[in-house]
Amino acid sequence: MGKSLFQKVWDSHRVGTLGDGRTQLFIGTHLIHEVTSPQAFGMLRDLGLKVKFPQRTFATIDHIVPTENQDQPADPLAAEMIDAIRKNCDDFGITYFDLKSGKQGIVHVVGPEQGITQPGTTIACGDSHTATHGAFGAIAFGIGTSQVRDVLATQTIALQEMKVRRIEVNGNLRPGVYAKDVILHIIRLLGANGGIGYAYEYAGDVFDRMSMEERMTVCNMSIEGGARCGYVNPDAKTIAYLQGRPYVDNKNFEETAARWLSFASDADAHFDDIVKIAAEDIEPTVTWGISPDAGISITENIPDPLTAPSPEQKASIEEALAYMKLPAGTPIQGVKIDVAFLGSCTNGRISDFREVAKYIKGHKVAANVKAIAVPGSQIVAIQCEQEGIPEIFREAGFEWRAAGCSMCLAMNPDKLIGDQLCASSSNRNFKGRQGSPTGRTILMSPVMVAAAAIKGEITDAREIFDLTESAAVA
């Protein structure tokens, strides 16, 4: 019996077994940001400990960075957090991609573009979207702040081994169906808690054909399906993406690449569960509720609690519809939006902006809609500028911003107001997620966000744009 990538990475990073039965796992790469790290450094100082491998932690700031003027924190608390990470990185000798570096951005965008994210490695970060890095065949997951302390002090954490579920998607995606739709569809099928205790291996020809950035979009939302990590096996695309990047061993690249590929799951690997999905069954998907598994096809109706299979589900649908202020049993198309948000660690990469730019030329954002586009990193922003993308967005009526997490979680000044409804390319539609306690979020692909912005309502992008040649997996 062969091994899965998960098993290979786990075995090669296992330090030992702890008294409670958990594994002490070596964390090869540690990413930190301003929100979940200051307390960890505080604990470290309280215990009189040092950072064991400062060269294996990389820092940036993303959550609270203003996107209108990056250099001006919104308030003294935001400024204090930025000062804290600067001082902590300085005190402990940690590489820090700060605002002036030209490399700052959302930590899950920065890691891959610097080549810090590599196959066959373990990656941890105090952020649940760390699974994004699994797109490269890394075992990457979010951790709490006490574990950030553990990694700083020992480069290890205590962790229960996960089971592995292989999710195979085979066939051809329809035009207008993107990586975001694939993951929203998977979460809808398996539930927001379906992945608890599992690592997800995404496999099949749909993922094989995906670009690295599309794979990142899928892996990013693993946690929304309850799976702490998700990955795609490394292949020629992985190697091609990483070659030449700053933190890659480019001098011994062939040897490095061969080692990376050796981590891919063996053909006869054991999986604890296998789920098969037909690509043709996936439609452009949007959410209607307050959990990412509340997804429906754009052509479907909003669920009706009266047809719910159980009293619990009835109550759950009622709670969601009351919050979302959406009528039961009616089409999701036509629901008016107030805000359109394009960005985040899910969909804030160059390919996302290129794809939207292709279709919004000649269109205008509806008069009643505030639309903002936020590149995932300073490097993405520069690439966009080189390609004339910001002008296309501005011409269409979008505000073009600087890099950060922005309105995905609204820790910076980008927030919904009151019960505004946002068509969003981000990852969470939780109550209050986008900064207003009554704000509402509908998750969808970037092209669907653009279509909604233009029409002023939730709409089928295939009816506004000619998506027959769309860049989703060909």
Residues 193-212 that bind other proteins (CB under 8 A): 193, 196-197
- Looking at the Cβ atoms of 142 and 348, the one nearer to other proteins is 142
Decide whether 81 or 381 has the Cβ nearer to other proteins. Answer: 81
The minimum distance between CB 114 and other proteins, in angstroms, equals 14
**Alpha carbons 14 and 295: distance in angstroms, whole number:** 38
**Can you tell me which of 66, 226, 284, 375 binds other proteins, judged by CB under 8 A?**
226
| 22 near other proteins, rule: CB under 8 A | yes
Contact track, other proteins, 158-187, x by CB under 8 A = xxx---------------------------
For other proteins, the binding residue among 19, 309, 362, 388 (CB under 8 A) is: 19
Tokens of 254: 């062939």
How far is Cα 149 from Cα 259, in angstroms, rounded to an integer?
30
Q: Does 238 help bind other proteins (rule: CB under 8 A)?
A: no
Q: Which stretch binds other proteins (CB under 8 A): 92-100, 139-147, 368-376, 383-391?
A: 139-147
Rule CB under 8 A: say whether 340 interacts with other proteins. Answer: no
Interacting stretch for other proteins, rule CB under 8 A, among 155-163, 182-190, 265-273, 357-365? 155-163
Contacts of 295 (CB under 8 A, 6+ apart): 184, 185, 187, 188, 285, 286, 287, 288, 443
Q: In the range 56-95, which residues lie near other proteins by CB under 8 A?
A: 56, 63-64, 75, 77-78, 80-81, 84
Which residues, numbered 346-405, are part of the site for other proteins (CB under 8 A)?
A: none
Contacts of 135 (CB under 8 A, 6+ apart): 112, 212, 215, 216, 218, 219, 231, 232
Under the criterion CB under 8 A, does residue 300 sit at the interface with other proteins?
no
User: To the nearest whole angstrom, how small is the minimum distance from the Cβ of residue 170 to other proteins?
Assistant: 28
CA distance 48 to 153: 10
Question: What residues pair up with 14 in beta bridges, in sequence order?
Answer: 25
Is residue 145 part of the contact set for other proteins (CB under 8 A)?
yes
Q: Are 206 and 473 in contact (CB under 8 A)?
A: yes
Cβ at position 362, least distance to other proteins in Å = 37
Output the smallest distance, CB 325 to other proteins, in A: 14
Q: According to CB under 8 A, which one of 4, 7, 32, 36 is a site residue for other proteins? A: 36
By the rule CB under 8 A, 46 interacts with other proteins = no
Map the footprint of other proteins across residues 404-443, applying CB under 8 A: 409-411, 428, 430-433, 435-438
Which member of 30, 108, 149, 185 binds other proteins (CB under 8 A)? 149
189 belongs to the binding site for other proteins (CB under 8 A): no
CB closer to other proteins out of 24 and 301: 24
Q: Does 142 bind other proteins (CB under 8 A)?
A: yes
Q: Looking at beta carbons only, is 334 or 430 nearer to other proteins?
A: 430
192 binds other proteins (CB under 8 A): yes
| Residue 309 sits in the site that holds other proteins (CB under 8 A) | no
# residues contacting other proteins (CB under 8 A): 85
Question: Does residue 128 bind other proteins (CB under 8 A)?
Answer: yes
